[in-house]
Amino acid sequence: MGAISPLGNSIETLWERLSTGVSGVNQLKSVPADNFPVDIGGECSEFEGKIDDFGQLDKKLKRNVKKGLKLMCREIQMGVAASQLAMAHSGLAEASLDPSRIGTMFGSDYIITNPAEFQKGIAQCIGEDGQFLFDQWADNGLVNVEPTWLLKYLPNMPASHVAIFNDLQGPSNSLTVRESSSNVAIGEAVTIIRRGSADAFVTGSTGSRIHPLRTIHVCLQEQLADRHSAIAGGDAAKACRPFDKDRGGMVMGEGAGVMILESLESAETRSAKIYGEVVGYGSSAVTRSDGAADFRRSLSNAIHLALNVAEVTADSIGHVQAHGVGGLRCDVEEAQAIAEHFPNTPVTAAKSYMGNLGAGSGMVESIASVMSLEHNHLLPILNCDAVDPGCKIRTAVSGENPGDSFINLNVTPQGQASAVVIRRAV
């Protein structure tokens, strides 16, 4: 596993800070926060996009990654870094596996260009009256735009870079389903392995809500929590409050996570450490007749499908890693779906520690739950001091037994839900 998150650039640091109740939410520094309605978010402040952030690489790989950095925006850099960390952590890089049997599967958000890419070109097309001259763009503007700018922002590039850098010649796919991307990517990779078309997959997701343009979209379209609310008292770390009666909305974040998924035979042949087994997955998209997302139904469908694929009953699930975005309606409807299937199962929500990482959320959250199984320590929902009466779930208690399995849930604002079931390695 590998993770780039607001809680650090390694799974060890991620776990250390989660297990001690540290929040990765703080005042925004990478975007001009004074111009936005909110000024907080879960930034990956320890990730600078430098070659050292990509872990221990051999000389050739280090040179190739360093050369490729100029063709990666921040989201892609985080995805590639998490992949290289996971490759090293798993020993897959040193394994003598057939490269044509190792694939790459990545989820992402839609990735937006940085406005600075066009700044020089636009400046060349401004008339004396200060107006933009459209008829001059082809001759005077476009020639001042970096020819390879688009390659920095294509959502298929995380998987492409990882495959090229590591000579992974197996199946490759890129999925863009916002917050649901991680679980869908896991389900797709496992399906391909099960049908015998690959032995292993570098499976990840990367996303961000923190970006000069993306943050504007988020502020216009989604309900956001504010650290200046009475309950937060100016403390950014207290603003993200999933399922709490005083929650105020989502907190923006960024990050990436990667798991190495491998057939049991392949993993045992190379004596790899096995952390868990993906046994079930499901997805569903449901909207109401008025066009609004039906979070309860889509999540309930995804849960039902994941349990069926896993061939397990709901009462066998040790804990629920909830979407827990902090939205007023979304949290209530998610809680209804959870209560329908898991009325007595402890529920946690890693977003409470770091905000909504977009497409990166589900993978980092699943890594957090895998670490919970590894350490026999379940995480409480941070800042959930008093559960909303409308959210009839059993919230996790710090340090309680996480059980032998978990289900991870995520859903987009449009009602696209996904779920995966992972159980402890036997």
Is 97 or 360 the better-scoring residue by pLDDT? 360
Same domain, 260 and 133: no
Dist CA 321 CA 330 (whole Å): 15
Q: What does the pLDDT read at residue 95?
A: 79
Same domain, 208 and 337: yes
Domain count, the chain: 2
Residue type, 162: V
Q: What does the pLDDT read at residue 361?
A: 96
**To which residue do tokens 């309680």 refer?**
400
Asked whether residue 376 carries a pLDDT value surpassing 80, the answer given is yes
Domain of residue 130, residue span: 116-149
Asked whether residue 287 carries a pLDDT value surpassing 90, the answer given is yes
**To which residue do tokens 């799974």 refer?**
11
Same domain, 51 and 70: yes
Dist CA 399 CA 21 (whole Å): 11
pTM: 0.95
Dist CA 44 CA 99 (whole Å): 32
Label residue 231 by pLDDT band (50, 70, 90). confident
Q: Tell me the CA distances in angstroms from 380 to 3, 22, 40, 182, 191, one per residue in order.
A: 20, 12, 22, 22, 32
First to last CA, the chain: 18
Share of the chain above pLDDT 90, in %: 87
Same domain, 140 and 157: no
The backbone region for 107, taken as left when phi is positive above 0, alpha when psi lies in -120 to 50, beta otherwise, is beta
Same domain, 132 and 233: no
- Residues 124-183 have pLDDT tens digits of 999 999 999 999 999 999 999 998 889 999 999 999 999 999 999 999 999 999 999 999
- Residues 173-227 have pLDDT tens digits of 999 999 999 999 999 999 999 999 999 999 999 999 998 888 888 888 889 998 8
Same domain, 108 and 122: no
Per DSSP, helices labelled H in 107-250 are: 116-123, 157-166, 181-194, 214-221
Asked whether residue 399 carries a pLDDT value surpassing 90, the answer given is no
Dist CA 423 CA 373 (whole Å): 8
- Residues 235-265 have pLDDT tens digits of 999 999 999 999 999 999 999 999 999 999 9
Give the distance between the most distant pair of CA atoms in the chain. Answer: 72
**Which of 102, 127, 149 is the last residue in one of the domains?**
149
Asked whether residue 96 carries a pLDDT value surpassing 90, the answer given is no
Same domain, 256 and 327: yes
Q: What mean pLDDT is predicted for residues 417-423?
A: 98
Q: What does the pLDDT read at residue 37?
A: 87
User: Which one, of 397, 404, 395, lies nearest residue 369 by Cα?
Assistant: 404
Same domain, 244 and 310: yes
Q: What does the pLDDT read at residue 34?
A: 83
Dist CA 37 CA 17 (whole Å): 28
Coil, strand or helix at 414:
coil
Cβ contacts of 103 within 8 Å, gap of 6 or more: 168, 170, 171, 172, 173, 189, 192, 198, 200, 201, 202
- Residues 304-358 have pLDDT tens digits of 999 999 999 999 999 999 999 999 999 999 999 999 999 999 999 999 999 999 9
Label residue 233 by pLDDT band (50, 70, 90). confident
Same domain, 69 and 163: yes
